[in-house]
Structure 1
Amino acid sequence: MSSPMQSSAYSATFRASEWMRSWSSIGCLLLVAGTGCSQKPADSSGNETNDSIRSVSVQLNWYPEVEHGGVYQSVVDGTYESLGLNVDIQPGGRATPVAPELAMGRSQFAITNADDVVLFRAQGADVVAVMAAVQDHPRCILVRADSGVESLENLSGLTLQRQAGRAYLTFLEKRGYLKDVRQVPYHNSIAAMVTDPKIAVQAYSVAEPLIAEQQGLEVRTLMVSELGWNPYSSVLVTTGDMIRESPDIVRAMVEGTVAGWKKFLDSPAQANAAILDANQHGMTEEALRFGAEQMVPLAMPRGNSNEVGMMTDTRWQELVDQMIELELVNADAVKAEDCFTTEFLSAEM
């Protein structure tokens, strides 16, 4: 059995992937939403509010962690409030139905990953990305330093503990990186690595390396993004209806979230305290502090705070092309330009 610290850090590797468990029912939800479900902001009880109050809900794709730091920052320091927003954060979990929550109007915004946006749209959900907090995805493969593995190009002979069905695995498989690699289920622990140098595990660079260090393991963090699979993460999304009907609210939410991320990356203590209070799944102050430090180069790979939130046509088109090539979506099911908009981002970005 893993310790609370292990459990909290390892939980980072599942994230929004669990949306697939609920995806079989989203078609029905979308049909219901299409019959007149209101996209008006609602308060925590589900009642529609007066537009002047500007109360909105943001659905997280996982339990509160550093990947949501900017949202918590702008709640606790009053940034959203200064922009006329009353933001209610809805924690996620292992089976958070991000797209259905948006489609049914129970939340007006959500946090997810760019590849999930593509999948959502391919299935008919009108989900649109409006800012991306993290430019380089934290997905990595963790190996022991004494494994002899220096890069993802020489994983042959290892046993990889992973959660099946994720897009990055399809990418690695199609590119030949997992040839002669035995794949087994991931059990939310790095315990097997302690006794076997030939075990590798799926990981997020903002979490698992700390656990390995605490267990006395010297590990090597192999970033999948360096191979070319690099979808934006910690992406703020909303619906097409929300963009068309309440652009002022979307603009304020984007402005507040970008500002929150910039503050969080510079000084995360205040938001981390709020996250620690909201996370009831064994999170620790040390884990949040480590994660926030690791977030800085991921969100600002060139060290420029103006990178926070930015998205480009090139990156989205590359992602859609990759997912079509990997046969994760059909070529006629989704267009890159429909997945995102930069109209609410400031010109300096």
Structure 2
Amino acid sequence: MRHTRTTKLVATAAIAAITIAACGSDSDEGAADEAEPEADVSDEEAPPAEAEEDAAAVDDDAMEEDSMEEDSMEDDDAMVDMEPAEAVDLAAVCPATIVIQTDWFPEAEHGALYEMVGEGATIDAETKIVSGPLVQHGGAETGVDIEIRTGGPAVGFQQVVSIMAQDDDVTFGYVASDEAIENYADNPTTAFVAPLEINPQIIMWDPETYPDVTSIADLATAKDGEGVTIRYFETGAYMQYLLSDGQVTDAQLDGSYDGGPSVFIAEGGAIAQQGFASAEPYNYENVFEDWGKPVSFELIHDAGWQSYAAPLAVLDSKKEELADCMAAFTPIVQAATVGYYAAPDTANELIIQAVNDYADFWVYDQGLADSSVAAQIELGLAGNGPDDVVGNFDEERLTRFIEIAGPVFGVDGLTPADLMTNEYIDETIGFT
């Protein structure tokens, strides 16, 4: 069944019960430590005073909401068990700095990565890199550092696989399943943990202009059969699938989307557009004042393109030498994923500060961060795989995806084992 996700999502980080079922005894601890992070920032330019006032107001509101949420959770006997994991020393098996190449600017969808940055974080606004000691859930240091590199426009929209192949310093990268298939012949990669379960990518439209549209496919027959123009990044392989599947037509497609809202707003909702379920719906309703109302959307996942959007992957050429590192690092990523969604404030503050310091076209504030976390939980973008485990891969899902995506890229003969491994997954860690 195809589900269309509407966008009036409640901007709250309340999660009924998130548990890390880690080794060791259970303990009943509070849901979230609201203490301010003690991260040092290398860029000395402070955010504008207005932003600080807004942040303070948000913090006050958040404290009130957290108080109510904690009362509610106590009433429901739904506490969050965040038992710190046993300390792991990565120094003997991993590089001194684990360098991770992402696919975009810092955002809540990358929360698990920023959850692993400990006290003393630095932000390099020129290179758009956040770095610091790599810590486990609970704050224990691992003996190595982490470096999170910005992707997308910051690297000229190069694919992550391409950067990994060019820069030997990159340890792991966000390599989506479709990107892995596309690059398999020249630069094969293996994904080993997936912080996001479902791709947040969407096609969105104005429900006032098109009240009868409930799916991407409906856009092809709207406007009296003429079809609604869809703006998207021209490199988006999913669109070739939607085209071959008959859900869109050639006449609808406009590959000129650049990530900005101006064209959609100027068109008054006459067109449809690519976006993220965890970002654009909030921005269009709450941030872009020239629009200021809800949009409707469908996830491309629900339209059939079920790629893993941001799994951490290693170049196959480095897989053997980094095997022990991946084995030790993977459970830390799993625990960071669960820990982030249980208490995202510290990581989100670092994300927001980094975006502010980068001072690029990408903007991020507390409202968007909170809304994104809530949307990811509500829509199932973050969560367990087909079982009670977070971060693992569903081989049946990947088999189906390979059957769909292989022809798009002219690739055949691949199996899930060519693209991923669950070898290092700790099956005791998950959302409950």
TM range, smaller chain: 0.7 to 0.9
Cα pair 2:174 2:313 within 8 Å, conserved: yes
Corresponding residue SS for 1:233: coil
Deviation at 1:112, TM superposition (A): 2.8
Corresponding residue SS for 2:246: coil
Decide whether aligned partners of structure 1 residues 250 and 301 sit closer, same or farther in structure 2, where only a CA change above 3 A counts.
closer
2:136 corresponds, among 61, 76, 79, to 79
Q: Does 1:315 align with 2:367?
A: no
1:325 aligned residue: 407
Q: Give the whole-Å Cα distance in 2 for the aligned partners of 1:52 and 1:106.
A: 12
Structure 1 spans left out of the alignment, 5+ residues? 1-48
Cα pair 2:386 2:394 within 8 Å, conserved: no
2:200 aligned residue: 138
> Which aligned pairs between 1:327-342 and structure 2 lie closer than 5 A?
328-332=409-413, 334-342=414-422
Decide whether aligned partners of structure 1 residues 218 and 99 sit closer, same or farther in structure 2, where only a CA change above 3 A counts.
closer
Cα pair 1:139 1:204 within 8 Å, conserved: yes
Deviation per CA, 1:183-232, whole angstroms, max 9, x where unpaired?
Answer: 22224333344453331111110111012212322311212211221111
Q: Give the whole-Å Cα distance in 2 for the aligned partners of 1:338 and 1:138.
A: 24
Corresponding residue SS for 1:203: strand
Corresponding residue SS for 1:88: strand
Q: What TM-score, normalized by structure 1, do the two folds share?
A: 0.77
Q: What TM-score, normalized by structure 2, do the two folds share?
A: 0.63
Deviation at 1:262, TM superposition (A): 0.7
Cα pair 1:134 1:233 within 8 Å, conserved: yes
Deviation at 1:50, TM superposition (A): 8.0
Of stretches 257-266 and 283-292 in structure 1, the one that deviates more from structure 2 is 283-292
Deviation per CA, 1:54-108, whole angstroms, max 9, x where unpaired?
Answer: 4321111211112211011012372186344322222223224522443342111
1:117 aligned residue: 180
1:92 aligned residue: 151
Q: Does 1:188 align with 2:259?
A: yes
Cα pair 1:83 1:256 within 8 Å, conserved: no
> Which aligned pairs between 1:139-158 and structure 2 lie closer than 5 A?
139-146=201-208, 147-148=210-211, 149-156=213-220, 157-158=227-228
Cα pair 1:144 1:193 within 8 Å, conserved: no
2:248 corresponds, among 168, 178, 188, to 178
Q: Does 1:128 align with 2:190?
A: yes
Of stretches 172-181 and 131-140 in structure 1, the one that deviates more from structure 2 is 172-181
1:211 aligned residue: 283
Q: State the identity as a percent.
A: 21
Q: Give the whole-Å Cα distance in 2 for the aligned partners of 1:113 and 1:292.
A: 20
Corresponding residue SS for 2:301: helix
Cα pair 1:160 1:181 within 8 Å, conserved: no
Decide whether aligned partners of structure 1 residues 302 and 220 sit closer, same or farther in structure 2, where only a CA change above 3 A counts.
farther
> Which aligned pairs between 1:223-238 and structure 2 lie closer than 5 A?
223-238=299-314
Q: Which amino acid in structure 2 is aligned with residue 58 of structure 1?
A: I
Corresponding residue SS for 1:245: coil
Of stretches 51-60 and 307-316 in structure 1, the one that deviates more from structure 2 is 51-60
Q: Give the whole-Å Cα distance in 1 for the aligned partners of 2:310 and 2:381.
A: 11
Corresponding residue SS for 2:410: coil
Structure 2 spans left out of the alignment, 5+ residues? 1-90, 120-134, 221-226
Cα pair 1:133 1:233 within 8 Å, conserved: no
> Which aligned pairs between 1:286-305 and structure 2 lie closer than 5 A?
286-296=367-377, 297-300=380-383
